């Protein structure tokens, strides 16, 4: 097999640089105004692409460092990319995940758009591969994080469409961070046939059905790209390669690749299922996560942050339910919540719910314990609060739920239930299928509107 050397253009195509790149040009003073919106102090340039430059910046209010992506409006408008910029902003606000680069805020001037994002200091995953292929255990750790992100995005109807090692950054602890959602698509972009039709991505990582221009499933196309990435991590070179682009596309269409002899049988089987040229028979995300190779994990002795916080809860908040005053009631009322003015949040995406009851706190706690037992959740409690935590890791770790009980009067209580950790959609599914039905008969119903759990 002819192997492509590990230079950036040959291995990864001619795509733009991601914000974690290292071999970057030096800035000039004219490119680096001292202050931005009187809030950020810009520093050295970290990298640049065709349409953007990225600087190290410091938030003067908090002292925290961020990466400031600066995009020229005129150039973006001239090439018709303003919709792409808007899409990237919308997606990054929607997909908040530990393994996705966080967007802090977006600002604009007459000539530029500024993205203040999480500063990821470890550089690109490419830098590790350029030094040689990775050991299988390390490749698995990165791949597990990548697939968890993709599963999370797909659950929100978001498809990345440009997955490649250049768009995978590493933080100081070696955790993966996915970036560059500029080519992503929403489920709303599906045509009447239920498929996406825009051809995009980087040639070496793009799925055969995307090249074919006949419509494609964004989730399955992302999984193909994940398969190419896993191959590159384990091999140190691309599965499909040829000096002639048409010849390379033919190999992609046919799924014409060979695994090196050092691939384990389990890794070989998984990659073959991911790089199936037929999207209808290609492996699904859930089956990837259920595969024996994927499930080999970190030592069980390593405790998660959620586990430590759950164990630290000792119920010392209060021996009895706290009595609410007028200010407490105002703070709990959505009518005084200004966040909807700035961020539209669907009812089904709520991270908390409240209900009133005339039952004693002990009855509420007992009912919550029953729910936890039926779902195999761990429970910690006091006389005025309950903490539930799932045993299985979900899309964003273990689901943890906090319930706090407040007294309006000695015989009339308000219970606030909220997500403490985990994925919001998984929390909402838990509430709709388990929580609300179990609490239905103890919820106080207003005679006026028959309202139940909010």
Provide the residue ranges of all domains of the chain, joining segments of one domain with +.
21-118, 125-295, 305-442
Catalytic entry in 137, 151, 162, 290: 162
307 catalytic? Reply is no
CA quadruple 187, 191, 195, 197: dihedral sign? negative
Average pLDDT over residues 356-380: 85
Q: Do domains 125-295 and 305-442 have the same CATH topology?
A: no
**What is d(CA 245, CA 247) in angstroms, rounded to the nearest whole number?**
5
73 is in an annotated binding site: yes
* Token output for 95: 């997909």
What tens digit of pLDDT does each residue of 279-335 get?
A: 999 999 999 999 999 988 654 444 455 665 666 666 555 556 666 555 555 455 444
What tens digit of pLDDT does each residue of 188-224 get?
A: 666 666 677 777 778 899 999 998 878 888 999 999 9
Domain spanning 125-295: which superfamily? Transferase(Phosphotransferase) domain 1 (1.10.510.10)
What does the mean pLDDT of the chain come to? 79
**pLDDT greater than 60 at residue 448:** no
> Which residues are CB-neighbours of 91 under 8 A, at least 6 positions away?
158, 181, 184, 186
66-75, 146-155, 379-388, 437-446 — which is least confidently predicted? Answer: 437-446
**pLDDT greater than 90 at residue 226:** yes
pLDDT at 33: 53
**What is d(CA 42, CA 52) in angstroms, rounded to the nearest whole number?**
15
9-18, 34-43, 113-122, 387-396 — which is least confidently predicted? Answer: 9-18
Domain 305-442, CATH among 3.50.50.60, 3.30.310.80, 3.40.630.10, 3.30.465.10:
3.30.310.80
21-118: CATH topology: Phosphorylase Kinase; domain 1 (3.30.200)
pTM listed for this prediction: 0.66
Are the C-beta atoms of residues 415 and 362 closer than 8 Å to each other? Answer: no
182-186, 312-316, 346-350 — which is least confidently predicted? Answer: 346-350
Give 132 or 392, the one with higher predicted confidence: 132
């Amino acid at each position: 097999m002819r192997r492509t050397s590990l230079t950036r253009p040959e291995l990864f195509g001619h795509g733009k640089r991601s914000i974690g790149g290292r071999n970057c040009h030096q800035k000039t003073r004219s490119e680096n105004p001292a202050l931005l919106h009187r809030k950020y102090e810009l520093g050295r340039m970290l990298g640049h692409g065709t349409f953007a430059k990225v600087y190290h910046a410091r938030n003067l209010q908090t002292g925290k460092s961020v990466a400031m992506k600066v995009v020229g409006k005129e150039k973006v408008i001239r090439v018709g990319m303003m919709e792409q910029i808007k899409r990237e902003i919308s997606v990054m606000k929607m997909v908040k995940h530990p393994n996705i680069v966080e967007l802090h805020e977006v600002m604009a001037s007459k000539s530029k758009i500024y993205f203040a994002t999480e500063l990821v200091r470890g550089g690109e995953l490419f830098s590790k591969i350029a030094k040689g292929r990775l050991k299988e255990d390390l490749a698995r750790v990165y791949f597990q994080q990548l697939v968890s992100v993709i599963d999370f995005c797909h659950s929100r109807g978001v498809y990345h469409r440009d997955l490649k090692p250049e768009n995978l950054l590493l933080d100081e602890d070696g955790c993966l961070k996915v970036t560059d959602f500029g080519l992503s698509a929403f489920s709303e972009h599906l045509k009447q046939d239920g498929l996406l039709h825009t051809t995009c991505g980087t040639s070496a990582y793009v799925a055969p059905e995307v090249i074919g221009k006949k419509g494609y499933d964004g989730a399955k196309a992302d999984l193909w790209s994940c398969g190419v990435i896993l191959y590159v991590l384990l091999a140190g070179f691309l599965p499909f390669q040829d000096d002639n682009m048409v010849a390379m596309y033919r190999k992609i269409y046919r799924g014409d690749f060979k695994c090196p002899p050092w691939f384990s049988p389990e890794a070989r089987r998984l990659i073959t299922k991911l790089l199936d040229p037929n999207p209808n028979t290609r492996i699904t995300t859930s089956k990837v996560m259920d595969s024996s190779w994927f499930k080999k994990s970190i030592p069980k002795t390593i405790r998660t942050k959620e586990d430590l916080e759950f164990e630290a809860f000792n119920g010392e908040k209060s021996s009895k339910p706290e009595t609410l005053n007028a200010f407490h009631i105002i703070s709990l009322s959505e009518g005084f919540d200004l966040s909807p003015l700035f961020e539209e949040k669907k009812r089904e995406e709520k991270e908390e719910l409240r209900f009133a009851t005339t039952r004693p706190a002990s009855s509420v706690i007992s009912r919550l314990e029953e729910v936890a037992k039926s779902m195999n959740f761990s429970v910690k409690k006091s006389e005025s609060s309950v903490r539930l935590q799932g045993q299985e890791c979900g899309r964003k770790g273990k689901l943890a739920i906090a319930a706090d009980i407040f007294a309006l009067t000695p015989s009339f209580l308000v219970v606030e239930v909220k997500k403490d950790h985990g994925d919001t959609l998984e929390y909402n599914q838990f509430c709709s299928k388990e929580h609300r039905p179990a609490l239905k008969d103890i919820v106080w119903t207003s005679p006026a509107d028959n309202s139940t759990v909010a």
